[in-house]
Structure 1
Amino acid sequence: MATKLQEREGFAALVMRLRAGGVTNLDLLSAVEATPRSLFTPSHLSPYAYSGRSVPIECGAFMESADLAIRLIDILKVKPGQRVLEVGTGSGYTAAIMGRIAERVLTVERYRTLADLARRRLSELSLQRVVVRQADGREGMSGEGTFDRILYTVAVPEIPRARVEQLVSNGVIMAPLIREGARPLMVRMTRIGSRFERQDLFEVPYIAAERGLSKAL
């Protein structure tokens, strides 16, 4: 893990980039400041924790750049009192940030190793409002009720119907949609009664979701 000085310098540089990009939500920036990103980064890569690049982690996965992670949460508009579902825990960093704002965050991950590591990191930060579960993110989450916000950090051909049915009215779901010959496109869908308003955002580097749980990792 990086030193406190490295954390402060990395955070300061990140905030400057975020504000230049229009991210000014003080609750969000305070959550970022309170969550040392190097805790979620492999120790030998901690110098890149706050960089604008993706960082490889366990199980052949990666954590998106700090800039992208925070930008997505800002667009998702996570607020106090909300219930949030994240599909694709990865390092646990995005769930940790959202868990400092929302009432409850359920994050699901198909790799047992990633889920266990995320739980350990979140426990170290005493983030009790975040629940990590090893589960198939492509399937429905029975018994969990509805969510105000849903965020996918794995790419899918289309937003699963099971997820749509778990979104409250005026709720928002964001997911990277797979496109032939191009990187996935992050899409924001807002539920208004029985219909949805779609907003196409930008390309993202997420990999395609796999079905089922990982049995080896």
Structure 2
Amino acid sequence: MKSTMVEKEGFAALVLRLRSEGISDLDLLTAVEQTPRSLFVPASSAENAYSSRTIPIDCGAFMEGADMAVRLLASLQVKPGQRILEIGTGSGFTAAVLGKLAERVLTIDRYRTLVTAAQGRLEKLGVRNVIVRQADGINGMPGEGTFDRILVTGAFTTMPRFYAEQLVSGGTMIAPLMVDENTCMMVRLSKTGSRFEREDLFAAPYLPLVPHIAAAL
């Protein structure tokens, strides 16, 4: 009972902060509420599950603070019936939320440890429309068809124009882009024809993407 109450209180506080930022999409907030974030954080960080703090997880990776995670999802503007590609599964939290908003989600990570743990959490929640794979996401997932939305949580050092082929016409990609040596900007790339239109959103704390699947972990 206590953990359920903590979960509800944490979510309520998060909603208040998000509304102050202008995020009030009911479908998105309902999906977040139905995805208990404490299930995805290490036990030692349970009290920070709904905080804005970055939370370290296995393999030297991290979870975005709850506020940042929902901001990213709000920026993606997912609609029912869409196919989503996520590069960087991490804990599996964003994939789980996306699974409640979209028709199908393919999420990949270079670390087997993270993939296995995320798959277990999704199964525990009964999420059936999210596929988790260990893969090298540096070039997306060519050969998997096109996606309506792509979310990337590792930074590119140059504009990832090659991803345009993996988006449907009118599709959207949210990704971090290193705009200089010390600054990473979250950008929204909207596909128009065969080209991207870029919109800078907000600064983000991501590191450049690492190629290849991990040899260990």
The TM-score, its normalising length taken from structure 1, stands at 0.96
**Do the aligned residues in 2 keep the contact of 1:138 with 1:160 (CA within 8 Å)?**
no
TM-superposed deviation, 1:158: 2.5
**Structure 1 residues 28-37 or 197-206, which shifts more?**
197-206
Q: CA deviation at 1:144?
A: 1.1
Q: Between the two proteins, what is the percent identity of the paired residues?
A: 57
The residue number in structure 2 matching 1:107 is 107
Could you give the per-residue CA deviations for residues 99-144 of structure 1, whole angstroms, max 9, x where no partner exists?
A: 1000001011000000100000011001111111100001242331
Whole-angstrom distance in 1 between the partners of 2:54 and 2:95: 17
Q: How big is the shift at 1:193?
A: 1.7
Q: Which runs of 5+ in 1 are unaligned?
A: none
What does 1:50-199 align with in structure 2 at a 5 Å threshold? Answer: 50-199=50-199
Does the Cα contact within 8 Å between 1:159 and 1:175 map onto a contact in 2? no
- Tell me, yes or no, if the aligned pair for 2:11 and 2:33 is still in contact at 8 Å: yes
Instruction: State the SS of the aligned residue for 1:165.
Output: helix
Cα deviation, 1:32-68, whole Å, max 9, x if unaligned, reads 1000001000001100000011000001110001100
- The SS at the match of 2:78 is coil
Q: Distance in 2 between matches of 1:160 and 1:192?
A: 15
Runs of 4+ in 1 over 4 A off after TM superposition: none
Letter in 2 for 1:84: I
Does the aligned pair in 1 maintain the 2:165–2:194 contact within 8 Å?
no
- CA distance in 2 between counterparts of 1:162 and 1:58 reads 30
Residue pair 2:142, 2:166 contacting (<8 A) in 1 also: no
CA distance in 2, matches of 1:165, 1:49: 36
Give 1:164 deviation, angstroms: 1.6
For 2:155 and 2:196, how far apart are their aligned partners in 1?
20
Residue 4 of structure 2 is matched in structure 1 by 4
Q: Which moved more, 1:179-188 or 1:39-48?
A: 179-188
Partner of residue 200, structure 1: 200
CA offset at residue 167 of structure 1?
0.4
Q: Structure 2: which 5+ residue stretches go unaligned? A: none
Partner amino acid for 2:97?
I
Size of the alignment, in residue pairs? 216
- Quick check: 1:81–1:103 contact (8 Å CA) kept in 2? yes
Q: 2:164–2:196: 8 Å Cα contact kept in structure 1? A: no
Once residues 192 and 156 of structure 1 are traced to their aligned partners in structure 2, the CA distance between those partners, rounded to angstroms, is 21
Distance 2:93 2:118 in 1: 8
Range 62-71 or range 153-162, more displaced? 153-162
Alignment of 1:13-28 (within 5 A): 13-28=13-28
- Specify the SS of the correspondent of 1:178: strand
Cα pair 1:37 1:50 within 8 Å, conserved: yes
Deviation at 1:201, TM superposition (A): 1.0
Computed over aligned residues only, the root mean square deviation of the Cα atoms, in angstroms, reads 1.2
Contact 1:85 1:107 in 2 (8 A): yes
Of stretches 160-169 and 47-56 in structure 1, the one that deviates more from structure 2 is: 160-169
